[in-house]
Amino acid sequence: MTTAAELSTRVPLRFAPASATFAIAIAGYLAVNLSPYMISAAQDAVGLDVLAASWLVTGTLLLTALAGLAAAGLCAGARRHQVARIGLGIATLGFLAAALVPALTIPGLLIGGIGAGGAVASAGAAMASFRNPDRVAGWNGFANRGVITIVLAVLPILGLAPLNVFGALALFSAIGLVMTKWLPRAPILDPGASLGTAGAATGEAMPIEIPPTGTIRTQSAAPSRLLTISGFGLLIVFALWAVSEDSLWAMIGIIGAETSGLTPEGLGIALSGATAGGLLGSLALMAVGNRLGRAVPLVVLLVLGGILKIVQGTLTNETALIVAFVAWNSIYAVAFMYFLSTAAALDARGRWSGPLLSVYLVGSALTPLIGASLSELLGAQGFTLALGITSFVLAVPTGIIAAISTRTERSIPNTAEALV
């Protein structure tokens, strides 16, 4: 349960804690973005075929997700820094071993994946520590996509050798490890202390004043149950939504080739354009912040995304498909950020934003298999129609939970404002 005291301790988005949070999030998620390169590097390192290398990368991502889910509860409390340091240390050693010693490629990647789970959980929980979760989610999306765009462009130039690909994972894990000292801490209640926000921004212990008795009484058991149900509901909805989104991402090359003659060159343009669209969406969310609330934007985004999913299964022109794909993925990127801000707003300790990113990874690791099965069973148009309907159905509970998160955040004034 998030108390008034905890909600009042959200801190401004200052450079040091924000940079640490975003850098650790990038380190935890980098393997997801580099998965095609990792498959190629794994084949080169130990002579695996495509299927075996794909299963190795899938196993790495699943271990990241499971480790993140296991550590999420600790990251909502006093052990957030410890989880981040241990996780990033393990990730650095594991990925470095995979990069340098071919015989250790398989165990190194699996161990590195487990360590990355600590980074995902700690960074996700830390995002709840800042004020205006919508703007924070926008900045995180912008930083993540900006860095990933550069890495994806540079690595092929350097070559997809194990040293470069797995070495990049180790390097970003090491950078995140160095920056953990600036990661904001979860709120800690101390009845005998006064309210302070400087410690939260620097990673030091932060005393918090318990509000007047009248304020505490407003936190009844009913709202507590409502927030808990909303949090669990958000994780379930987000998992289902992530599977529907990533299934289309994984299968667009096959679907596009079947319906509109999408070429490998066209697919490259579509993927690059989708990344650029996500950057623009991040900028828009950073500018808007929480002025529009979350419920209406999320419902609109999910409905528009569902429509664009369905449209992509009906297009027979390559250019039109590329445009629709870029538009859909741009909407997806903004919706992802709103999901993250919704989770962060539900609990200032990061109880829900911590596991949210790991929940996404579970779906991301499995969607190539799920997408291939559904597209084979339903055909191109049936596949995209099913994904579109999924978005429409999920828009309803998503909107309700987003409205609850906005009301929760706005119902308690931020008493730390005067200390900025």
- Contact of 334 with 104, CB cutoff 8 Å: no
- Contact of 262 with 317, CB cutoff 8 Å: no
Residues whose CB is less than 8 angstroms from the CB of residue 76 and which lie 6 or more positions away in sequence, other chains included: 125, 186, 347, 349, 350, 351, 354
Q: Which residue do the tokens 């909303």 mark?
A: 230
Q: What is the pLDDT of residues 90-123, one digit of tens each?
A: 999 999 999 999 999 999 999 999 999 999 999 9
What phi, psi does 365 have (nearest 5°)? -70, -30
pLDDT at 117: 94
Q: Which residue do the tokens 């009906």 mark?
A: 314
| Residue 145: C-alpha distances to residues 23, 244, 257, 317, 375 (Å) | 12, 21, 27, 28, 28
Angle (CA) 388 394 400, round 5°:
145
Burial (CB count <10 Å: 0-12, 13-18, 19+), residue 288: middle
State the distance between the two ends of the chain, measured CA to CA, in whole angstroms.
26
pLDDT at 143: 87
- What predicted TM-score, i.e. pTM, was given to this entire model? 0.75
Mean pLDDT of the 257-284 span: 76
Percent of the chain whose pLDDT exceeds 70: 84
Q: What is the pLDDT of residues 338-377, one digit of tens each?
A: 898 898 888 878 888 888 888 888 877 777 677 778 888 8
Two tokens, residue 173: 């894990």
Angstrom distance (rounded) from CA 348 to CA 327: 33
Of 281, 354, 29, 286, nearest to 138 by C-alpha is 286
Q: What is the DSSP string of 223-260?
A: HHHHHHHHHHHHHHHHHHHHHHHHHHHHHHHHHHHHHH
Q: What is the pLDDT of residues 197-252, one digit of tens each?
A: 334 444 443 443 333 333 333 333 445 788 889 899 999 999 899 888 888 877 88
Mean pLDDT of the 160-188 span: 91
Angstrom distance (rounded) from CA 225 to CA 39: 44
Q: Which residue type does 383 have?
A: F
Q: What is the pLDDT of residues 19-71, one digit of tens each?
A: 999 999 999 989 888 887 888 899 888 888 877 888 898 899 999 999 999 99
